[in-house]
Each structure stands twice: as structure tokens, then as C-alpha cells.
């Protein structure tokens, strides 16, 4: 079968940005006044303008055996889907039930009822991580409502995290103070004992009593032993006079 494609680009100019922002819904009705659904105002306006200009050309192409396909991306995809709906409904004069729409990254251009109507002529291709097909006034309202609901929960989580950090800081400070207050016998103060209990509750092994005192005593003894050691250096002895002289001449050697 012969095919003729009408290519509709995405957002490229400031005027296209204005079209994107005209997102208020417009009611779409049949010739008899039956409501089909609600459409994006800016995209529907562009779709009707295209059908108004190309309607007669599309009719002639279909009479010659061509199948007309609207192809668009992003903003153009929404316009392509709505242009097919406008032709099928005959809102701008020409009417066609053979037209098709191939849409890539189609934005939210209508409500659910209009989407079901477009299933007969439109095929849309969407990337799983693309935000454009999922962005609309309704999704923005839902996102705001979810953030409002979770605000208190997030605030509670932050307070709990700050409290946990303060507890860790207090334990560290107590451990430092308890180390400075130990006595030579290895006993710890009441504050040090309390800190040891807190460390054990956190799964941190507490230092054994007397470990620091024993280490200090061992270090003192080692220093004393080093000071008592007397190091005797060997005295140099005068060199003895050699009894003979060595010489080498012509490969022979001897001693006089």
C-alpha cells in the first residue's frame, strides 16, 4: 500500500513553548454534541490548524490510494494524535477513518476517555525513563499532595538522625574523659564504668582494667634499663710495622 507521511516536529521555537504552556483542558465533542473527552488546548489548536490547511490534500491522497500517517515527536506527537482524532471526527470539514498517527514520546494531550478514542488510530512509543509523557497538571497535583503527606514523616526521620548523631558524640566524649580519669592501680571512676556499659551495649569491647597502667609501667622500666646500660667502645690499637714489603715485578713476587 502507498503511504504519505505528515511530519510534525517537537518544541523548537518560543511559539512552541507557548503552545506547551497552554495546558488548560478543552472539551472535544462530535458533530452531534456528544462529549468524546478533554484535550490539551495548545496541542488541539495546532492539530485543527494542520487539518484545516491539509484537509483537502489528505482527501485527494486517499482517493489516489494513499494512507496518510501523522508522525510526530514530543509536542509533535501530541499534535499528531489529536490531528488524527480531528480528522476522524470531521471537526474541520474533511473526515477520514483511514488516517493513522505514529507518536514518539507523546506528552499528556488528553484525558482517559479521549485516549481510549485515539487507540483506534494512534500508536505511541515511550521510553521507560522519559519524564515528558508523564508530566501534566494532574501528575503535578498528585506529586504535591504526596509531598505534603510525607513532610511530617521526613521531619521525624531527620530529628531521629540528629538525635542518633548526638548520642554517638556524647559516648565519644565520655570515653575520652574516662581515659583521663583512670588511676594508677587500673581502677576506673564511676563515670568510666558507666561509659564502659554504654560501649558494651553498642557492641564495642571496653578496655580491660589496668591495661593503660601496665603499659605505662613497662615503658618506664624499659627507659630505666636503657639508661643503666654502659656501652664500651673498643680502643684503637697502633698498627705494627710490617716485617717485609711485597712487590710484584715481571710476574714474580717475594718477601725481603
Whether residues 120 and 145 fall in one domain: no
Q: For the chain, how many structural domains are there in total? A: 2
Whether residues 55 and 124 fall in one domain: yes
Determine how many CB atoms are found less than 10 A away from the CB of residue 164.
Answer: 10
Q: Is the pLDDT of residue 207 over 90?
A: no
Q: Is the pLDDT of residue 229 over 60?
A: no
Residue where a domain stops, chosen among 209, 230, 245 = 209
Whether residues 108 and 159 fall in one domain: no
pLDDT digits (tens, 9 = 90+) for 132-167: 888 887 888 888 888 888 887 788 888 888 888 877
Residue where a domain stops, chosen among 82, 101, 134 = 134
Q: What percent of the chain has pLDDT over 70?
A: 65
CATH code at 58?
A: 3.40.50.1820
Amino acid 160: pLDDT: 84
Whether residues 79 and 164 fall in one domain: no
pLDDT, mean of residues 74-98? 90
Amino acid 255: pLDDT: 37
Asked, for residue 233, whether it belongs to a domain, the answer is no
DSSP state of 122: E
Evaluate whether 75 touches 10 at the Cβ level (below 8 Å).
Answer: yes
Model confidence at 196, in pLDDT bands (50, 70, 90)?
Answer: low
Element (H, E) at 103: strand 100-104
Q: How far apart are CA 107 and CA 3, in angstroms?
A: 25
Whether residues 127 and 160 fall in one domain: no
Whether residues 27 and 95 fall in one domain: yes
The residue ranking higher by pLDDT, 169 or 144, is: 144
Asked, for residue 219, whether it belongs to a domain, the answer is no
Model confidence at 96, in pLDDT bands (50, 70, 90)?
Answer: confident
Q: What percent of the chain has pLDDT over 90?
A: 32
Whether residues 6 and 130 fall in one domain: yes
The residue ranking higher by pLDDT, 88 or 214, is: 88
Alpha helices in 95-203 (DSSP H): 112-118, 137-180, 190-201
pLDDT digits (tens, 9 = 90+) for 16-41: 898 888 888 899 988 788 899 999 99
Amino acid 162: pLDDT: 83
Mean pLDDT of the chain: 76
> Strands across the sheet with 66-73, in order?
2-8, 66-73, 100-104, 122-125
Residues in the chain: 256
Determine how many CB atoms are found less than 10 A away from the CB of residue 157.
Answer: 11
Enclosing domain of residue 176: 140-209
The predicted model scores a pTM of 0.56
Amino acid at each position: 500500500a502507498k503511504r504519505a507521511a505528515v511530519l510534525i516536529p517537537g518544541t523548537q521555537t518560543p511559539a512552541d513553548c507557548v503552545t506547551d504552556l497552554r495546558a488548560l483542558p478543552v472539551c472535544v465533542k462530535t458533530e452531534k454534541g456528544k462529549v468524546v473527552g478533554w484535550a490539551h488546548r495548545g496541542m488541539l489548536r495546532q492539530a485543527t490548524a494542520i487539518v484545516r490547511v491539509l484537509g483537502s490534500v489528505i482527501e485527494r491522497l486517499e482517493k489516489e490510494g494513499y494512507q496518510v500517517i501523522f508522525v510526530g515527536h514530543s509536542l509533535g506527537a501530541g499534535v499528531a494524535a489529536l490531528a488524527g482524532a480531528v480528522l476522524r471526527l470531521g471537526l474541520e470539514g474533511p473526515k477520514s477513518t483511514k488516517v493513522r498517527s505514529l507518536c514518539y514520546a507523546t506528552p499528556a494531550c488528553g484525558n482517559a476517555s479521549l485516549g481510549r478514542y485515539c487507540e483506534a488510530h494512534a500508536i505511541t512509543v515511550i521510553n521507560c525513563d522519559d519524564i515528558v509523557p508523564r508530566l501534566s497538571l494532574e501528575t503535578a497535583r498528585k506529586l504535591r499532595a504526596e509531598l505534603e503527606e510525607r513532610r511530617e514523616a521526613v521531619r521525624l526521620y531527620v530529628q531521629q538522625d540528629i538525635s542518633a548523631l548526638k548520642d554517638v558524640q556524647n559516648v565519644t566524649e565520655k570515653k575520652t574523659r574516662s581515659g583521663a580519669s583512670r588511676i594508677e592501680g587500673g581502677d576506673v571512676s564511676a563515670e568510666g564504668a558507666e561509659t564502659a556499659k554504654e560501649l558494651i551495649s553498642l557492641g564495642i569491647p571496653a578496655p580491660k582494667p589496668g591495661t593503660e597502667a601496665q603499659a605505662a609501667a613497662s615503658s618506664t622500666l624499659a627507659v630505666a634499663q636503657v639508661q643503666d646500660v654502659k656501652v664500651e667502645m673498643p680502643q684503637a690499637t697502633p698498627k705494627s710495622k710490617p716485617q717485609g714489603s711485597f712487590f710484584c715485578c715481571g710476574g714474580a713476587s717475594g718477601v725481603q
